[in-house]
Amino acid sequence: MTARVGKTTRVPGVPRIHLVSNLPGVNALGDHLRAAGLGPTSARSADALLVLIDRPLDHVEQELLDRARQSVPVLLAGPTVRALPADSPLVEASGLIPGRATPPYELRLQAGPQGGAIMARSGDFRPRESWVIPEKVADDVERLVLIRHEMGDYPVCTWRPATGLGMFTLGTGAAVLGDAAYHRLVGRWLRHCLGVHDAPPVGVGLLGTPDTTAAHHAGLDATEGLELTALCDGGPGRAPAHAAGRLPRRVEDPDDLVNDPELGVVVVATPTHTHLEWAGRALEAGKHVVVQAPLCLATSDADQLAELAAERSLLLAVYPEGRADPGYRALRAAVGRGAIGEPLRLEVHRGGLRRPVGTWRDDERISGGQLYDRGAAGVDQVLALVDEPVEWVSAAELKRVWYHVSNADHSRLLLRFASGAEAQITVSDLTVAARPSLEVLGSVGTLILDDAPAAANLEPPDGGPAVTGRHAGRRAAQDDDAAGAASLLLATYDGVRTRYPLPAPGSARVGTEVFYRDLADSLVSGWPLAGYEVEAARPVVAVLEAAVRSVATGGAQVVPL
Protein backbone atom coordinates (compact mmCIF):
# COMPACT_ATOMS: atom_id res chain seq x y z
CA MET A 1 0.00 0.00 0.00
CA THR A 2 1.29 3.47 -0.83
CA ALA A 3 1.93 5.74 2.15
CA ARG A 4 -0.75 8.38 2.48
CA VAL A 5 0.60 11.76 3.58
CA GLY A 6 -2.06 14.10 4.96
CA LYS A 7 -2.41 17.68 3.84
CA THR A 8 -0.98 18.92 7.14
CA THR A 9 2.37 17.11 6.64
CA ARG A 10 5.09 19.76 6.36
CA VAL A 11 8.30 17.66 6.49
CA PRO A 12 9.41 16.45 3.02
CA GLY A 13 10.83 12.98 2.53
CA VAL A 14 9.23 11.44 5.60
CA PRO A 15 10.36 7.78 5.66
CA ARG A 16 8.11 4.74 5.81
CA ILE A 17 8.08 1.94 8.35
CA HIS A 18 6.99 -1.68 8.51
CA LEU A 19 5.01 -2.56 11.65
CA VAL A 20 5.07 -6.12 12.95
CA SER A 21 2.67 -6.93 15.78
CA ASN A 22 0.28 -9.53 17.12
CA LEU A 23 -1.25 -7.26 19.80
CA PRO A 24 -5.03 -6.70 19.60
CA GLY A 25 -4.87 -2.97 20.33
CA VAL A 26 -2.13 -1.97 17.92
CA ASN A 27 -4.36 -0.89 15.01
CA ALA A 28 -4.76 2.65 16.37
CA LEU A 29 -0.98 3.06 16.47
CA GLY A 30 -0.67 1.84 12.90
CA ASP A 31 -3.41 4.21 11.75
CA HIS A 32 -1.72 7.17 13.44
CA LEU A 33 1.69 6.42 11.93
CA ARG A 34 0.13 5.94 8.51
CA ALA A 35 -1.70 9.29 8.75
CA ALA A 36 1.61 10.93 9.69
CA GLY A 37 3.24 9.53 6.55
CA LEU A 38 5.25 6.85 8.41
CA GLY A 39 4.08 3.82 6.46
CA PRO A 40 2.88 1.30 5.92
CA THR A 41 5.17 -0.50 3.54
CA SER A 42 6.64 -3.97 3.09
CA ALA A 43 9.44 -5.25 5.27
CA ARG A 44 11.75 -5.39 2.24
CA SER A 45 11.29 -1.73 1.26
CA ALA A 46 10.94 -0.26 4.77
CA ASP A 47 13.23 2.46 6.08
CA ALA A 48 12.69 1.14 9.64
CA LEU A 49 11.11 -1.88 11.32
CA LEU A 50 8.87 -1.46 14.37
CA VAL A 51 8.13 -4.64 16.34
CA LEU A 52 5.48 -5.00 19.08
CA ILE A 53 5.02 -8.68 19.84
CA ASP A 54 4.45 -10.73 22.99
CA ARG A 55 6.09 -14.00 21.95
CA PRO A 56 9.67 -15.10 21.19
CA LEU A 57 10.94 -14.05 17.78
CA ASP A 58 13.02 -17.23 17.33
CA HIS A 59 14.40 -17.47 13.78
CA VAL A 60 13.34 -13.88 12.99
CA GLU A 61 15.97 -12.48 15.38
CA GLN A 62 18.84 -13.02 12.98
CA GLU A 63 16.87 -11.46 10.14
CA LEU A 64 16.24 -8.36 12.24
CA LEU A 65 19.92 -8.13 13.13
CA ASP A 66 20.83 -8.37 9.46
CA ARG A 67 18.46 -5.50 8.60
CA ALA A 68 19.95 -3.38 11.39
CA ARG A 69 23.43 -3.99 9.94
CA GLN A 70 22.04 -2.74 6.62
CA SER A 71 21.29 0.65 8.26
CA VAL A 72 17.59 -0.13 8.67
CA PRO A 73 16.74 0.75 12.30
CA VAL A 74 15.04 -2.07 14.21
CA LEU A 75 12.89 -0.77 17.06
CA LEU A 76 11.48 -3.15 19.64
CA ALA A 77 8.53 -1.76 21.60
CA GLY A 78 5.86 -2.80 24.08
CA PRO A 79 6.14 -6.38 25.39
CA THR A 80 8.79 -7.38 22.84
CA VAL A 81 11.75 -7.05 25.19
CA ARG A 82 9.99 -9.21 27.80
CA ALA A 83 9.38 -11.94 25.26
CA LEU A 84 13.06 -12.21 24.31
CA PRO A 85 15.25 -14.81 26.03
CA ALA A 86 18.05 -13.51 28.23
CA ASP A 87 20.69 -14.65 25.74
CA SER A 88 18.97 -13.06 22.74
CA PRO A 89 21.42 -11.39 20.31
CA LEU A 90 18.89 -8.59 19.95
CA VAL A 91 19.16 -7.81 23.66
CA GLU A 92 22.95 -7.76 23.42
CA ALA A 93 22.85 -5.54 20.33
CA SER A 94 20.42 -3.08 21.94
CA GLY A 95 22.80 -2.41 24.83
CA LEU A 96 19.91 -2.51 27.30
CA ILE A 97 19.88 -5.53 29.61
CA PRO A 98 16.32 -5.84 30.98
CA GLY A 99 15.69 -6.55 34.65
CA ARG A 100 12.53 -6.96 36.66
CA ALA A 101 9.14 -5.58 35.59
CA THR A 102 7.28 -3.31 37.99
CA PRO A 103 3.58 -3.56 38.85
CA PRO A 104 1.41 -1.09 36.91
CA TYR A 105 1.28 2.46 38.26
CA GLU A 106 1.04 6.01 36.92
CA LEU A 107 4.33 6.88 35.26
CA ARG A 108 5.86 10.34 34.96
CA LEU A 109 7.98 10.49 31.83
CA GLN A 110 10.85 12.92 31.37
CA ALA A 111 13.25 13.69 28.57
CA GLY A 112 16.62 11.97 28.66
CA PRO A 113 19.93 13.57 27.63
CA GLN A 114 19.22 12.96 23.92
CA GLY A 115 15.41 12.94 24.11
CA GLY A 116 14.43 16.59 24.12
CA ALA A 117 12.89 16.46 20.64
CA ILE A 118 11.01 13.25 21.43
CA MET A 119 9.34 14.70 24.53
CA ALA A 120 8.69 18.13 22.98
CA ARG A 121 5.02 19.13 23.29
CA SER A 122 4.21 15.78 24.90
CA GLY A 123 1.90 17.46 27.40
CA ASP A 124 0.98 15.78 30.65
CA PHE A 125 1.09 12.20 29.40
CA ARG A 126 1.07 9.87 32.41
CA PRO A 127 0.51 6.29 31.27
CA ARG A 128 -0.54 3.75 33.86
CA GLU A 129 1.46 0.67 33.05
CA SER A 130 4.15 -1.77 34.10
CA TRP A 131 7.69 -1.09 32.88
CA VAL A 132 11.05 -2.88 32.83
CA ILE A 133 13.85 -1.63 35.08
CA PRO A 134 17.13 -2.10 33.18
CA GLU A 135 19.94 -3.97 34.91
CA LYS A 136 22.57 -2.45 32.66
CA VAL A 137 22.73 0.15 29.92
CA ALA A 138 25.76 0.37 27.63
CA ASP A 139 27.67 3.66 27.54
CA ASP A 140 26.94 4.27 23.84
CA VAL A 141 23.16 3.89 24.23
CA GLU A 142 21.15 7.10 23.84
CA ARG A 143 18.74 7.52 26.76
CA LEU A 144 15.73 9.21 25.19
CA VAL A 145 12.87 8.89 27.71
CA LEU A 146 13.42 8.32 31.42
CA ILE A 147 11.43 7.35 34.50
CA ARG A 148 12.51 8.41 38.00
CA HIS A 149 12.50 5.38 40.29
CA GLU A 150 13.98 4.92 43.77
CA MET A 151 16.35 7.88 43.52
CA GLY A 152 17.54 6.93 40.04
CA ASP A 153 16.66 7.73 36.42
CA TYR A 154 16.08 4.70 34.21
CA PRO A 155 15.53 4.69 30.44
CA VAL A 156 12.32 3.26 28.96
CA CYS A 157 13.12 4.44 25.43
CA THR A 158 16.60 4.08 23.92
CA TRP A 159 18.54 4.08 20.66
CA ARG A 160 21.97 2.60 19.94
CA PRO A 161 23.33 4.10 16.71
CA ALA A 162 26.28 1.68 16.60
CA THR A 163 24.04 -1.36 16.16
CA GLY A 164 20.82 0.20 14.79
CA LEU A 165 18.70 -1.19 17.65
CA GLY A 166 16.19 0.70 19.80
CA MET A 167 14.03 -0.30 22.79
CA PHE A 168 10.80 1.23 24.13
CA THR A 169 9.45 -0.86 26.99
CA LEU A 170 6.06 0.87 27.24
CA GLY A 171 3.00 -0.14 25.23
CA THR A 172 2.07 -3.52 26.68
CA GLY A 173 -1.58 -2.76 27.49
CA ALA A 174 -4.54 -1.76 25.34
CA ALA A 175 -5.04 1.58 27.14
CA VAL A 176 -1.53 2.83 26.34
CA LEU A 177 -1.51 1.31 22.84
CA GLY A 178 -4.67 3.26 22.08
CA ASP A 179 -3.46 6.58 23.50
CA ALA A 180 -2.64 9.29 20.94
CA ALA A 181 0.14 10.61 23.20
CA TYR A 182 1.86 7.21 23.03
CA HIS A 183 1.44 7.16 19.25
CA ARG A 184 3.15 10.55 19.08
CA LEU A 185 6.09 9.36 21.21
CA VAL A 186 6.57 6.25 19.07
CA GLY A 187 6.48 8.37 15.94
CA ARG A 188 9.05 10.80 17.33
CA TRP A 189 11.24 7.86 18.39
CA LEU A 190 11.10 6.51 14.84
CA ARG A 191 12.02 9.89 13.37
CA HIS A 192 14.92 10.32 15.81
CA CYS A 193 16.39 6.94 14.93
CA LEU A 194 16.06 7.75 11.23
CA GLY A 195 17.69 11.16 11.60
CA VAL A 196 14.54 13.09 10.66
CA HIS A 197 14.32 16.44 12.45
CA ASP A 198 11.61 19.02 13.04
CA ALA A 199 11.30 22.02 10.77
CA PRO A 200 12.25 25.43 12.26
CA PRO A 201 9.73 27.25 14.48
CA VAL A 202 6.87 28.95 12.64
CA GLY A 203 6.10 32.65 13.03
CA VAL A 204 2.51 33.38 14.09
CA GLY A 205 0.44 36.53 13.78
CA LEU A 206 -2.53 37.04 16.10
CA LEU A 207 -5.48 39.14 14.94
CA GLY A 208 -8.47 39.98 17.13
CA THR A 209 -9.61 42.07 20.08
CA PRO A 210 -7.96 42.26 23.52
CA ASP A 211 -10.53 39.94 25.10
CA THR A 212 -10.34 37.30 22.36
CA THR A 213 -6.57 37.25 21.89
CA ALA A 214 -5.55 36.86 25.55
CA ALA A 215 -5.97 33.06 25.79
CA HIS A 216 -4.41 32.53 22.34
CA HIS A 217 -1.46 34.70 23.35
CA ALA A 218 -0.85 32.61 26.47
CA GLY A 219 -1.23 29.32 24.60
CA LEU A 220 1.22 30.40 21.90
CA ASP A 221 3.75 31.60 24.46
CA ALA A 222 3.70 28.14 26.05
CA THR A 223 4.18 26.20 22.80
CA GLU A 224 7.58 25.16 21.50
CA GLY A 225 7.74 25.34 17.72
CA LEU A 226 5.46 28.37 17.38
CA GLU A 227 6.70 31.96 17.79
CA LEU A 228 4.14 34.71 18.32
CA THR A 229 5.76 37.32 16.10
CA ALA A 230 3.06 39.95 15.48
CA LEU A 231 -0.07 41.04 17.35
CA CYS A 232 -2.93 43.22 16.11
CA ASP A 233 -5.73 43.56 18.67
CA GLY A 234 -6.35 47.31 18.89
CA GLY A 235 -4.95 47.28 22.42
CA PRO A 236 -2.34 49.51 24.06
CA GLY A 237 1.30 49.32 23.09
CA ARG A 238 2.35 47.49 26.26
CA ALA A 239 2.61 43.71 26.34
CA PRO A 240 0.00 41.66 28.22
CA ALA A 241 0.81 40.74 31.81
CA HIS A 242 1.31 37.05 31.00
CA ALA A 243 3.83 37.71 28.22
CA ALA A 244 6.96 37.39 30.33
CA GLY A 245 9.21 35.99 27.58
CA ARG A 246 9.16 36.76 23.89
CA LEU A 247 7.20 39.89 23.07
CA PRO A 248 5.36 40.14 19.75
CA ARG A 249 5.65 43.15 17.53
CA ARG A 250 2.56 45.38 17.68
CA VAL A 251 0.83 45.97 14.35
CA GLU A 252 -1.80 48.66 13.86
CA ASP A 253 -3.23 47.68 10.47
CA PRO A 254 -4.69 44.14 10.07
CA ASP A 255 -3.69 44.18 6.39
CA ASP A 256 -0.07 44.59 7.41
CA LEU A 257 -0.32 41.57 9.68
CA VAL A 258 -1.86 39.15 7.16
CA ASN A 259 0.72 40.18 4.54
CA ASP A 260 3.73 40.05 6.88
CA PRO A 261 6.39 37.87 5.16
CA GLU A 262 7.77 36.71 8.53
CA LEU A 263 4.54 34.91 9.39
CA GLY A 264 3.64 31.36 8.47
CA VAL A 265 0.35 31.30 10.41
CA VAL A 266 -2.37 33.85 11.09
CA VAL A 267 -4.79 33.31 13.98
CA VAL A 268 -8.16 34.98 13.33
CA ALA A 269 -9.88 35.74 16.64
CA THR A 270 -11.87 38.71 15.37
CA PRO A 271 -15.64 39.17 15.82
CA THR A 272 -17.48 36.30 14.15
CA HIS A 273 -18.98 38.23 11.24
CA THR A 274 -15.44 39.13 10.03
CA HIS A 275 -14.03 35.58 10.04
CA LEU A 276 -14.69 35.08 6.34
CA GLU A 277 -12.96 38.31 5.39
CA TRP A 278 -9.79 37.96 7.45
CA ALA A 279 -9.35 34.21 7.08
CA GLY A 280 -9.78 34.63 3.32
CA ARG A 281 -7.26 37.46 3.14
CA ALA A 282 -4.72 35.46 5.13
CA LEU A 283 -5.14 32.40 2.90
CA GLU A 284 -4.77 34.56 -0.20
CA ALA A 285 -1.54 35.90 1.32
CA GLY A 286 -0.21 32.34 1.54
CA LYS A 287 -0.59 31.83 5.30
CA HIS A 288 -1.87 28.85 7.21
CA VAL A 289 -4.95 29.98 9.13
CA VAL A 290 -6.48 29.24 12.52
CA VAL A 291 -9.99 30.56 13.18
CA GLN A 292 -11.61 30.75 16.58
CA ALA A 293 -14.92 28.85 16.53
CA PRO A 294 -17.42 29.21 15.08
CA LEU A 295 -15.64 29.17 11.73
CA CYS A 296 -18.12 31.53 10.09
CA LEU A 297 -21.85 32.34 9.86
CA ALA A 298 -22.81 30.31 6.77
CA THR A 299 -21.93 26.98 5.19
CA SER A 300 -21.31 28.73 1.86
CA ASP A 301 -18.62 30.80 3.60
CA ALA A 302 -17.10 27.65 5.11
CA ASP A 303 -17.00 26.02 1.69
CA GLN A 304 -15.40 29.12 0.18
CA LEU A 305 -12.63 29.12 2.80
CA ALA A 306 -12.08 25.36 2.45
CA GLU A 307 -11.73 25.70 -1.33
CA LEU A 308 -9.33 28.60 -0.95
CA ALA A 309 -7.13 26.61 1.46
CA ALA A 310 -7.18 23.50 -0.75
CA GLU A 311 -6.20 25.46 -3.87
CA ARG A 312 -3.13 26.78 -2.08
CA SER A 313 -2.31 23.58 -0.13
CA LEU A 314 -2.63 25.54 3.11
CA LEU A 315 -3.84 24.44 6.51
CA LEU A 316 -7.20 25.83 7.66
CA ALA A 317 -7.93 24.85 11.26
CA VAL A 318 -10.62 25.83 13.75
CA TYR A 319 -9.97 26.22 17.47
CA PRO A 320 -13.06 24.76 19.19
CA GLU A 321 -13.81 25.92 22.72
CA GLY A 322 -14.77 23.22 25.21
CA ARG A 323 -12.87 20.29 23.67
CA ALA A 324 -10.15 20.32 26.35
CA ASP A 325 -12.55 20.66 29.31
CA PRO A 326 -11.63 17.75 31.64
CA GLY A 327 -15.27 16.99 32.42
CA TYR A 328 -16.25 16.76 28.77
CA ARG A 329 -13.21 14.64 27.95
CA ALA A 330 -14.06 12.22 30.75
CA LEU A 331 -17.69 12.05 29.63
CA ARG A 332 -16.77 11.46 26.00
CA ALA A 333 -14.36 8.70 27.00
CA ALA A 334 -17.13 7.04 29.06
CA VAL A 335 -19.54 7.21 26.12
CA GLY A 336 -16.84 5.82 23.84
CA ARG A 337 -16.26 2.76 26.00
CA GLY A 338 -20.01 2.03 26.11
CA ALA A 339 -20.69 3.02 29.73
CA ILE A 340 -24.27 4.09 28.90
CA GLY A 341 -24.85 2.04 25.78
CA GLU A 342 -26.28 3.91 22.82
CA PRO A 343 -26.74 7.70 23.39
CA LEU A 344 -30.44 8.48 23.06
CA ARG A 345 -31.01 11.94 24.56
CA LEU A 346 -28.45 14.69 25.21
CA GLU A 347 -29.03 17.98 27.04
CA VAL A 348 -26.54 20.82 27.09
CA HIS A 349 -27.01 23.94 29.21
CA ARG A 350 -25.00 27.14 29.04
CA GLY A 351 -25.52 30.31 31.04
CA GLY A 352 -27.39 31.43 34.13
CA LEU A 353 -28.89 34.64 35.42
CA ARG A 354 -26.68 37.19 33.68
CA ARG A 355 -27.06 40.78 32.55
CA PRO A 356 -25.24 40.98 29.18
CA VAL A 357 -22.33 43.39 29.24
CA GLY A 358 -23.09 44.82 25.82
CA THR A 359 -19.94 43.95 23.88
CA TRP A 360 -19.90 42.71 20.28
CA ARG A 361 -20.70 39.24 21.58
CA ASP A 362 -24.16 40.48 22.60
CA ASP A 363 -24.82 42.08 19.20
CA GLU A 364 -26.73 39.71 16.92
CA ARG A 365 -25.41 41.33 13.74
CA ILE A 366 -21.79 40.81 14.78
CA SER A 367 -21.79 37.58 16.79
CA GLY A 368 -24.50 35.83 14.79
CA GLY A 369 -26.74 35.66 17.84
CA GLN A 370 -26.80 33.91 21.19
CA LEU A 371 -26.64 30.39 19.77
CA TYR A 372 -23.70 31.17 17.48
CA ASP A 373 -21.72 32.93 20.17
CA ARG A 374 -22.33 30.67 23.17
CA GLY A 375 -23.95 27.56 21.73
CA ALA A 376 -21.34 26.62 19.13
CA ALA A 377 -19.21 24.73 21.65
CA GLY A 378 -22.25 22.74 22.80
CA VAL A 379 -23.14 21.84 19.21
CA ASP A 380 -19.55 20.74 18.59
CA GLN A 381 -19.63 18.53 21.70
CA VAL A 382 -22.95 16.93 20.78
CA LEU A 383 -21.87 16.17 17.21
CA ALA A 384 -18.73 14.48 18.58
CA LEU A 385 -20.81 12.30 20.91
CA VAL A 386 -23.37 11.12 18.33
CA ASP A 387 -21.78 9.79 15.17
CA GLU A 388 -24.92 10.06 13.04
CA PRO A 389 -26.22 12.51 10.42
CA VAL A 390 -28.50 15.30 11.68
CA GLU A 391 -31.94 14.86 10.11
CA TRP A 392 -33.39 18.19 11.16
CA VAL A 393 -32.99 21.15 13.50
CA SER A 394 -35.60 23.18 15.34
CA ALA A 395 -34.89 26.32 17.35
CA ALA A 396 -36.68 29.04 19.32
CA GLU A 397 -35.67 32.27 21.06
CA LEU A 398 -37.13 34.52 23.77
CA LYS A 399 -36.59 38.26 24.28
CA ARG A 400 -38.24 39.54 27.47
CA VAL A 401 -35.69 41.11 29.82
CA TRP A 402 -32.37 42.40 28.46
CA TYR A 403 -33.49 44.99 25.89
CA HIS A 404 -30.20 46.91 25.92
CA VAL A 405 -28.68 44.24 23.64
CA SER A 406 -29.94 42.58 20.46
CA ASN A 407 -29.07 38.97 21.28
CA ALA A 408 -31.86 36.77 22.62
CA ASP A 409 -32.29 36.30 26.37
CA HIS A 410 -32.96 32.58 26.09
CA SER A 411 -32.42 30.16 23.17
CA ARG A 412 -33.30 26.52 22.65
CA LEU A 413 -31.92 24.31 19.88
CA LEU A 414 -33.23 20.79 19.20
CA LEU A 415 -31.37 18.30 16.97
CA ARG A 416 -32.79 15.05 15.62
CA PHE A 417 -30.32 12.41 14.40
CA ALA A 418 -30.84 9.67 11.84
CA SER A 419 -30.61 7.04 14.59
CA GLY A 420 -33.54 8.62 16.42
CA ALA A 421 -31.34 10.19 19.09
CA GLU A 422 -32.13 13.78 20.07
CA ALA A 423 -30.13 16.60 21.61
CA GLN A 424 -31.28 19.86 23.17
CA ILE A 425 -28.93 22.80 23.65
CA THR A 426 -30.10 25.67 25.84
CA VAL A 427 -28.31 29.01 26.13
CA SER A 428 -29.85 31.33 28.66
CA ASP A 429 -29.26 34.59 30.51
CA LEU A 430 -32.41 34.02 32.58
CA THR A 431 -31.85 30.63 34.25
CA VAL A 432 -31.68 31.03 38.03
CA ALA A 433 -31.69 27.40 39.16
CA ALA A 434 -28.49 25.38 38.85
CA ARG A 435 -28.41 23.01 35.88
CA PRO A 436 -25.90 20.31 34.83
CA SER A 437 -23.84 21.53 31.92
CA LEU A 438 -24.24 18.24 30.02
CA GLU A 439 -26.41 15.16 30.48
CA VAL A 440 -26.41 12.08 28.25
CA LEU A 441 -29.19 9.51 28.53
CA GLY A 442 -28.25 6.14 27.06
CA SER A 443 -29.78 2.74 26.54
CA VAL A 444 -28.20 1.34 29.74
CA GLY A 445 -27.48 4.41 31.86
CA THR A 446 -27.01 8.15 32.20
CA LEU A 447 -23.98 10.43 32.48
CA ILE A 448 -24.32 13.82 34.19
CA LEU A 449 -21.64 16.50 34.06
CA ASP A 450 -22.33 18.59 37.17
CA ASP A 451 -21.50 22.30 37.14
CA ALA A 452 -21.11 22.54 40.91
CA PRO A 453 -18.69 25.52 41.13
CA ALA A 454 -21.15 27.76 39.30
CA ALA A 455 -23.99 26.55 41.51
CA ALA A 456 -22.16 27.84 44.57
CA ASN A 457 -22.22 31.42 43.25
CA LEU A 458 -25.13 33.19 44.93
CA GLU A 459 -24.28 36.76 43.98
CA PRO A 460 -27.51 38.67 43.19
CA PRO A 461 -27.70 40.09 39.66
CA ASP A 462 -28.71 43.59 40.76
CA GLY A 463 -26.01 44.17 43.34
CA GLY A 464 -28.48 43.88 46.23
CA PRO A 465 -28.26 41.61 49.25
CA ALA A 466 -27.88 37.90 48.63
CA VAL A 467 -31.06 35.87 49.09
CA THR A 468 -30.72 32.65 51.06
CA GLY A 469 -33.00 29.80 52.04
CA ARG A 470 -35.67 28.39 49.77
CA HIS A 471 -35.91 31.64 47.78
CA ALA A 472 -32.15 31.77 47.08
CA GLY A 473 -31.18 32.48 43.50
CA ARG A 474 -28.02 31.79 41.54
CA ARG A 475 -25.89 33.85 39.27
CA ALA A 476 -23.75 31.90 36.86
CA ALA A 477 -20.14 32.79 36.40
CA GLN A 478 -19.57 35.33 33.66
CA ASP A 479 -17.33 32.90 31.80
CA ASP A 480 -19.18 29.61 31.37
CA ASP A 481 -16.07 27.73 30.31
CA ALA A 482 -14.07 28.95 33.28
CA ALA A 483 -16.64 27.59 35.72
CA GLY A 484 -15.85 24.06 34.67
CA ALA A 485 -17.27 20.82 35.99
CA ALA A 486 -16.79 19.47 39.49
CA SER A 487 -17.70 15.84 38.91
CA LEU A 488 -19.06 13.29 36.47
CA LEU A 489 -21.88 11.01 37.62
CA LEU A 490 -22.58 7.67 35.96
CA ALA A 491 -25.92 6.07 36.88
CA THR A 492 -26.72 2.70 35.31
CA TYR A 493 -30.04 0.87 35.23
CA ASP A 494 -28.83 -1.81 37.66
CA GLY A 495 -28.89 0.85 40.39
CA VAL A 496 -25.15 1.54 40.51
CA ARG A 497 -24.13 5.19 40.84
CA THR A 498 -20.48 6.11 40.30
CA ARG A 499 -19.14 9.62 40.73
CA TYR A 500 -15.79 10.39 39.11
CA PRO A 501 -13.81 13.29 40.63
CA LEU A 502 -12.37 15.64 38.05
CA PRO A 503 -9.42 18.04 38.11
CA ALA A 504 -10.04 21.55 39.36
CA PRO A 505 -11.46 23.75 36.59
CA GLY A 506 -8.77 25.55 34.63
CA SER A 507 -8.63 28.65 32.53
CA ALA A 508 -9.20 28.90 28.80
CA ARG A 509 -5.39 28.77 28.46
CA VAL A 510 -5.45 25.00 29.08
CA GLY A 511 -7.55 24.42 25.98
CA THR A 512 -5.45 26.69 23.80
CA GLU A 513 -2.23 25.01 24.95
CA VAL A 514 -3.56 21.59 23.91
CA PHE A 515 -4.66 22.96 20.54
CA TYR A 516 -1.41 24.78 19.82
CA ARG A 517 0.69 21.75 20.79
CA ASP A 518 -1.22 19.79 18.13
CA LEU A 519 -0.85 22.64 15.63
CA ALA A 520 2.91 22.87 16.20
CA ASP A 521 3.25 19.11 15.79
CA SER A 522 1.47 19.40 12.46
CA LEU A 523 3.50 22.33 11.14
CA VAL A 524 7.00 21.41 12.30
CA SER A 525 6.77 17.60 12.65
CA GLY A 526 4.17 16.65 10.07
CA TRP A 527 1.69 14.92 12.39
CA PRO A 528 -1.98 14.92 11.35
CA LEU A 529 -4.09 17.68 12.89
CA ALA A 530 -7.11 15.46 13.46
CA GLY A 531 -10.39 16.93 14.67
CA TYR A 532 -9.66 20.58 13.95
CA GLU A 533 -10.15 20.66 10.20
CA VAL A 534 -12.85 22.41 8.21
CA GLU A 535 -14.53 19.02 7.76
CA ALA A 536 -15.17 18.92 11.52
CA ALA A 537 -16.14 22.61 11.81
CA ARG A 538 -18.55 22.82 8.87
CA PRO A 539 -21.31 20.62 10.43
CA VAL A 540 -21.38 22.96 13.44
CA VAL A 541 -21.94 25.94 11.15
CA ALA A 542 -24.59 24.00 9.22
CA VAL A 543 -26.56 23.26 12.40
CA LEU A 544 -26.34 26.86 13.64
CA GLU A 545 -27.33 28.24 10.24
CA ALA A 546 -30.34 25.90 10.19
CA ALA A 547 -31.23 27.06 13.71
CA VAL A 548 -31.38 30.69 12.55
CA ARG A 549 -33.69 29.70 9.71
CA SER A 550 -35.85 27.71 12.12
CA VAL A 551 -36.21 30.67 14.50
CA ALA A 552 -37.26 32.88 11.58
CA THR A 553 -40.02 30.40 10.66
CA GLY A 554 -41.41 29.93 14.16
CA GLY A 555 -39.46 26.80 15.12
CA ALA A 556 -39.99 24.78 11.94
CA GLN A 557 -37.86 21.69 11.34
CA VAL A 558 -34.99 22.64 9.04
CA VAL A 559 -32.52 20.25 7.39
CA PRO A 560 -28.89 21.47 7.74
CA LEU A 561 -27.17 22.17 4.44
pTM of the full structure: 0.83
Residue type, 320: P
Range scoring the smallest mean pLDDT among 40-44, 151-155, 201-205, 449-453: 449-453
User: What's the pLDDT score for residue 251?
Assistant: 94
Tell me what the mean pLDDT of segment 540-559 comes to.
Answer: 97
CA distance 551 to 554: 5
CA distance 465 to 473: 11
Range scoring the smallest mean pLDDT among 5-9, 10-14, 377-381: 5-9
What is the distance of C-alpha 38 from the center of its chain?
Answer: 21
The percent of residues in the chain predicted with pLDDT above 70, rounded, is 87
User: What's the pLDDT score for residue 394?
Assistant: 98
pLDDT in tens, 50-61: 999 998 888 788
CB < 8 Å & 24+ apart, contacts of 55-61: 55/22, 55/83, 56/83, 56/84, 56/85, 57/83, 57/84, 57/88, 57/90, 61/88, 61/89, 61/90
Report the relative pairing of strands 438-442 and 445-450 from DSSP bridges.
antiparallel
Tell me what the mean pLDDT of segment 4-11 comes to.
Answer: 33
User: What's the pLDDT score for residue 353?
Assistant: 92
More confident residue, 402 or 15: 402
Which strands, in side-by-side order, build the sheet including 265-269? 249-250, 226-232, 202-208, 265-269, 288-292, 316-319
Confidence bin at 175 (pLDDT 50/70/90): confident
Say if residues 181 and 125 touch (Cβ distance below 8 Å). yes
How does the average pLDDT of the chain come out, rounded?
Answer: 86
CA distance 127 to 124: 10
Q: What is the topology classification, in CATH, of domain 326-459+482-508+531-553?
A: Dihydrodipicolinate Reductase; domain 2 (3.30.360)
CA distance 180 to 528: 11
Backbone dihedral region for residue 71 (phi beyond 0: left; psi -120 to 50: alpha; all else: beta): left
Assigned CATH class of 202-319: alpha beta
Tell me what the mean pLDDT of segment 273-290 comes to.
Answer: 97
Beta bridge partners of 227: 203
Confidence bin at 321 (pLDDT 50/70/90): confident
Q: Say whether 326-459+482-508+531-553 and 17-194 share the same fold.
A: no
pLDDT in tens, 185-219: 998 999 899 988 889 999 999 999 998 999 999 99
Confidence bin at 339 (pLDDT 50/70/90): very high
Nearest to 393 by CA among 367, 422, 351: 422
The domain segmentation of the chain, as residue ranges, is 17-194, 202-319, 326-459+482-508+531-553
Inform me whether the pLDDT recorded for 390 exceeds 80.
yes
Computed on alpha carbons and rounded to an integer, the radius of gyration of the chain in Å comes to 26
CA distance 217 to 85: 52
Nearest to 50 by CA among 8, 80, 7, 24: 80
17-194: CATH number: 3.40.50.880
Confidence bin at 555 (pLDDT 50/70/90): very high
Determine phi and psi for 325, rounding to 5 degrees. -60, 125
Q: What share of the chain is helix, strand, coil (3-state, %, to 5)?
A: 30, 25, 45
Close Cβ partners of 41 (under 8 Å, ≥ 6 residues apart)? 1, 3, 16, 17, 18
